[in-house]
Structure 1
Amino acid sequence: MESYTYLLAENQIIKTERLILRPITFADAKAMFDYASDEETTRFVFDTHQTIDTTRQSIAEFFIAAPIGKYGIEIAETSAFIGTIDIRVDQLNKSGFLGYALNKSYWGNGYMTEAGFAMLDLAFKILELERVTSLHDVRNPASGNVMKRLGMTYEGTLRKNRFVKKEFVDDAHYSILKEEYQH
């Protein structure tokens, strides 16, 4: 089998029925700032960006410095950049961690579920991982609903699991195994 890095590099652009998952560049800064500066969108995920320079710095440090497995979500028909999704691979354990953020203007349209299935296809069919996990702040059940639609199983809640926005938060953990994946 090829290395995970090689396989992810070969699959930097993924097309679905309505979306294009692709590398993130500085050209995405304005669209990312539109949601990264919105408290409702970022409430459970990351510190709200106060300036577009913060967004540009985030793009440089997180997405450009180490782009493998990190994707911008673009609507194919309009080229609108609406969010991000990533899979972080644990090579030793043949597992992946799924993370995502979506502009609230696009919530409720099935875009994140569609992007999530693309990531699970990548994880199980191309990378041949055994397990993919994800988590969400328990105060954000909509994120958990995405995980459930992807076929993930709730595994438990870790209390005060992360320190986010000056407080400890409880995280609900989900996973799906290769043999459970039905898409």
Structure 2
Amino acid sequence: MEQNGNKNYILAKNNLLETKRLFLRPVTLEDAEDMYEYSRDSQTTHFVFGRHQTLEDTKIAIADYFMAEPLGKFAIELKEQQKMIGTIDLRVEMEIGVAELGYIINKKYWGFGYIPEACHRLLTLGFTDLDLVRIKAAHDKRNANSGRVMEKIGMTVDSIITEARRNLGQLKGQVFTEVTRSITKTQWEKLKQ
């Protein structure tokens, strides 16, 4: 582990990541049109956040969420097309060795394995560079697609919490059942063998 586990230094040093088909890089205002393309679509944002009504909504969201505190937050860009198709983030709690993974992708790119590919890269960052113990993720029980991504990257169910909290997406205010999944460093190392 680098620099005595300084999370910010490690994340800053790794703010540009690469996979076979993707670049994971900081989100900028130049991504607004690509992000608005999926942020205005209710099917894409259904479980994640309220649909953006205007391009300005997207620019404000980029500034407020991605640019205000950029470390650990990435645009998912297709290398060949140089198009931003979604975002992924790793919210790290260094003191306890845990992080939470979150992601969203334009529905035009569902089913091509881009999110699992990006997730695998962040698992490597988390377990190798940050020396985390566990990486977790959660989804609305009705969001089977997100659950399948988590299964593909080796996460197993930790808990199913009925009436866990209120939804922030298109179902804003509705109480939902939350499925929490995770993978430990030990499990991840075994899967790599």
Match of 1:50 in 2: 53
Equivalent of 1:17 in 17, 20, 32: 20
The 5 A counterparts of 1:71-150 are 71-150=74-153
Decide which moves more: 150-159 or 80-89: 150-159
Structure 1 residue 168, shift from structure 2 partner: 1.1
Aligned residues: 183
5+ long unaligned stretches in structure 1: none
Equivalent of 2:164 in 161, 164, 179: 161
The AA in structure 1 aligned to 2:182 is S
Q: What's the secondary structure of 1:122's corresponding residue?
A: helix
Structure 1 residue 162, shift from structure 2 partner: 2.3
5+ long unaligned stretches in structure 2: none
Match of 2:41 in 1: 38
User: Is residue 2:178 matched to residue 1:175?
Assistant: no
Kept in 1: contact 2:5–2:94 (CA 8 A): no
Q: What TM-score, normalized by structure 2, do the two folds share?
A: 0.93
Q: What TM-score, normalized by structure 1, do the two folds share?
A: 0.98
Q: Distance in 1 between matches of 2:156 and 2:5?
A: 29
* Higher normalized contact order (CA 8 Å, seq sep 6+, divided by chain length): 2
